[in-house]
Amino acid sequence: MLEIKNLHVKLEDEDKAILKGVDLTVEAGKVHAIMGPNGSGKSTLSYVLSGRDGYEVTDGSATLLGEDILDMEPEERAAAGMFLAFQYPVEIPGVGNMTFLRSAVNAQRKARGEEEMSSTEFLKVIREKAKDLQIDQDMLKRPVNVGFSGGEKKRNEILQMAMLEPKLCILDETDSGLDVDAMKLVSEGVNALRSPDRGFLVITHYQRLLDHIKPDVVHIMSDGKIVKTGGPELAMEVETHGYQDLKEGA
Ligand SMILES: Nc1ncnc2c1ncn2[C@@H]1O[C@H](COP(=O)(O)OP(=O)(O)OP(=O)(O)O)[C@@H](O)[C@H]1O
Ligand SMILES: [Mg+2]
């Protein structure tokens, strides 16, 4: 469903190449994990896919369900079914969490030519999903992410994901700063969303997260490229030996 071919990306303001020919295919129904050393370009890849400013694609392509996404505005990408959970979720002061989610859900429905969700229906659905993620009513009313703890922000992102029902979910280091219970909760939230028509790209440093979210495919990114692809055993290998052997293309 996601096809990235020979993607080259540089910083807009500087002549600095960050992605240097990424090739990656994520199939529907599969969970792909990307691991790799700090600064190898993992977050950059997710930013470029979501349409963040500041990056320039100099070569290559990326399509979602056959549509070229690199030419789309960020909101068009979202409407096309892409969701990105950030490494550092943003705070939106003054906008209630629930209001934000309802606008987001309805904006996407509208863009897809579907009917808006009524407020009663929305309330029912969000309450159910929030309960599964142990997010209380108070957190739903507070401004988006403002004053949320790291773990609460992450759980809130999974709630957004559950409400938006995207086709492709990209999670960037969802395990950073999560305590063991929160990691389990987040993983269960992700696992509950696994479905034959949905793909996942999970960026992580830790085998620990992958114990809970079992990946089908593991990729190693190093210096702006995918240097190795394998099964879950590749994550174990990283945990034991680090990236040194893999970096050298062994
Ligand atoms: N706006 C920017 N200005 C300067 N350098 C940048 C910018 N964005 C990315 N980079 C550089 O690009 C490289 C890749 O960064 P990126 O955040 O994608 O790495 P990462 O693989 O996600 O690392 P980590 O595992 O630490 O999260 C880094 O060297 C980073 O400093
Ligand atoms: Mg990163």
CATH number, domain of 14, equals 3.40.50.300
Q: What per-residue confidence (pLDDT) applies to 250?
A: 46
Which ligand sits nearest to residue 220's alpha carbon?
1
Q: Which atom of ligand 1 has the smallest separation from the CA of 203?
A: 22
- The residue contributing the CA closest to ligand 1 atom 6 is 11
Asked whether residue 52 falls in the same domain as residue 174, the answer is yes
Phi-psi region of 223 (alpha: psi -120 to 50; beta: other; left: phi over 0): left
Residues 97 and 68 reside in one and the same domain? no
Residue 187 lies in a domain: no
- Measuring from each residue's beta carbon to the nearest atom of ligand 1, which residues come in under 6 Å? 11, 18, 36, 38-44, 54
199 is a domain residue: no
In this structure, the answer to whether residues 128 and 177 fall within a common structural domain is no
State the pLDDT at residue 90: 78
Residue 219 and residue 208: Cα distance in Å, rounded?
16
Which of 136, 166, 196 lies at the terminal end of a domain, its last residue? 166
- Residues 108, 77, single domain; the answer is no
My answer on whether 130 and 227 are in the same domain is no
Overall domain count for the chain: 2
For ligand 1, atom 13, name the residue with the nearest CA. Answer: 39
pLDDT value of position 208 = 81
Same domain, yes or no: 172 and 74: yes
User: Do residue 35 and residue 131 come from a single domain?
Assistant: no
For residue 226, report the distance from its CA to the centre of ligand 2, in Å: 15
Same domain for 175 and 67, yes or no, is yes
**Among the bound ligands, the one closest to the CA of 45:** 1
**Cα–ligand 2 centroid distance for 16 (angstroms):** 17
Task: With respect to residue 224, please indicate whether it lies within any of the assigned structural domains.
Answer: yes
190 occurs within a structural domain = no
* pLDDT one-digit tens code per residue, 143-193: 998 998 888 888 898 899 999 989 999 998 766 677 887 788 788 888 989
Which residues of the chain fall below pLDDT 50? 250
Mutate which of 11, 47, 246 for ligand 1 pocket (most atoms within 8 A of beta carbon): 11
Q: Is residue 193 part of a domain?
A: no
Same domain flag for 233 and 133: no
Which ligand is nearest the CA of 42, by number?
1
Residue 195 maps to a domain: no
0.85 surpassed by pTM: yes
Question: Which residues hold their Cβ within 5 A of ligand 2, which is an ion?
Answer: 42-43
Q: How far is the CA of 232 from the centre of ligand 2 (A)?
A: 20
Q: Which pLDDT does position 175 carry in this prediction?
A: 60
Give me the domain span that covers residue 64: 1-81+168-181+208-249
Does 2 share its domain with 77? yes
Amino acid 176: pLDDT = 65
Q: What is residue 228's predicted lDDT score, i.e. its pLDDT?
A: 95
Q: What is the per-residue DSSP string for 75-95?
A: HHHHHTTEEEE-SSPPPEEEE
pLDDT at 186: 80
Give the number of other CB atoms < 10 A from CB of residue 2: 21
Distance from the alpha carbon of residue 137 to the mean position of ligand 2, in angstroms: 31
Looking at residue 247, its pLDDT comes to 66
Are residues 228 and 107 part of one domain? no
End position of a domain, from candidates 115, 137, 166: 166
Closest ligand, as measured to the CA of 36: 1
For 184-242, give the DSSP string: HHHHHHHHHH--TT-EEEEE-S-HHHHHHS--SEEEEEETTEEEEEE-THHHHHHHHH-
Residue 15 forms part of a structural domain = yes
Ligand 1 mean position, distance from CA 40 (Å): 7
Do 65 and 167 touch, CB atoms closer than 8 A? yes
Same-domain pairing of 231 and 156: no
Residue 113 CA, ligand 2 centroid: distance in Å: 35
Could you give the CA distance from residue 249 to residue 161 in angstroms, rounded to a whole number? 35
Distance CA 4, CA 225 (A): 12
H/E stretch holding 47: helix 42-50
Alpha carbon of 236 to ligand 2 centroid (Å): 20
Residue at 97 is within a domain: yes
